[in-house]
A and B are shown apart, each in its own frame.
Chain A
Amino acid sequence: MKGPSDGTLVARARRGDAAAFGALVQRHYRACNAVALAILRRRADAEDACQDAWVRALEKLDTCRNPERFASWMLQIVRNHARNLWAARRVRAAEPLDSNAGLAAAVGREDPTRDHERERLRARLEGALAEVSEVQRTVLLLHDLDGWPHRKIATALEISEVMSRQHLFQARRKLRAMLGDETLQQPE
């Protein structure tokens, strides 16, 4: 991890340092988004949930008892918030949250010409991810998208490392069966 530790950044953010808060967001946003996406299944919903969760986390930053383990603490907030949103959406049985009114609209869509292929691939991935369980999605996204090791995933999700490996195995197998070779990760 480059730069100051999470503990240092949290201490500075507690004193209202905007740059430190921004650095924490930059460092952990992808993992937060992975967890929110695993629950809400749509990118725009996940981004809205993440924004709310980050503001909420900032408000209750003093309750983070172990700032060096900020990532796990933050993920718990994102998970709770995303689940609340998911439950509220099911109760309302309303339109999807991503009706172009949320953060996705505010930050702008990508260039449709340039990213048409990417958009198509994203839709396929989101569709395939919807077919695996929430915990499998979470493990898969944290491991394959944000590069978390199984030990860290196990701690954050309060499962064993063996289960984390098992969930990854199952999720990859299901996705591979649904997507074929199109999304096969190129060896580095």
Chain B
Amino acid sequence: MDASDRRSREPAPVDLSALDPTADRERFGRIVERIQMAGAAELHRRRREAGIWGEVARWRRGILLGAGALAAASVLTLLLTRPSSESQAESTTVLGIPSQWSEWVASGEQPGPGDLLTIERSES
């Protein structure tokens, strides 16, 4: 059986327009209105929530932008004002740490037992 045969054997469509809820426009309008009224509380809640979260989102963007700029400025400042080994030695002297120690730290060399004894003697 080809498509045209099948179509010719198909029962004709039934007129269901009497069951169409949108046929009477006025009545259908009232149905839609009533559904909107029933959902009004939820719509109101959603509007309020969208308002709050929208506000938070706007603030969050500003705060993140400010924090990013601050972080970039901090990194730049640190790079430009990196303390030299001389100033490190001065500060350790102020703190009462032998200057030789800061030199070892800066150079990465390990002090030998003799070096430690020399410092100990000079301190006492």
Contacts and interface: CB of A to CB of B under 8 A. Distances in A.
A55 B11 contact: no
A125 B16 CA distance: 7
Interface string A21-40: 11001100110010001000
A21 B43 contact: yes
Interface of A is mostly: helix
A185 B13 contact: yes
Interface of B: 10-22, 24, 27-28, 30-32, 34-36, 38-40, 42-50
B52 to A, nearest CB: 12
A46 B35 CA distance: 13
25 contacts: A13-B43, A13-B46, A15-B46, A16-B44, A16-B45, A16-B47, A16-B49, A18-B40, A30-B21, A30-B22, A47-B21, A106-B30, A107-B31, A108-B27, A108-B30, A110-B27, A121-B18, A140-B16, A141-B16, A169-B11, A175-B14, A176-B11, A176-B14, A179-B14, A183-B14
Contacts of A50: 35
A37 B16 CA distance: 12
Given A16-B46, A25-B36, A29-B32, A145 B16 contact: yes
Nearest to A114: B24
Nearest to A169: B10
Contacts of B49: 16
B34 A106 contact: yes
Contacts of A59: 42
Interface residues of A, number: 47
B97 to A, nearest CB: 61
Contact of A55 (B18, B30, B32, B39): B39
A58 B42 contact: yes
B110 to A, nearest CB: 63
Contacts of B35: 25, 50-51, 54-55
B34 to A, nearest CB: 6
Nearest to A109: B27
Contacts of A15: 46-47, 50
A145 B47 contact: no
A43 interface: yes
Contacts of B24: 110, 115
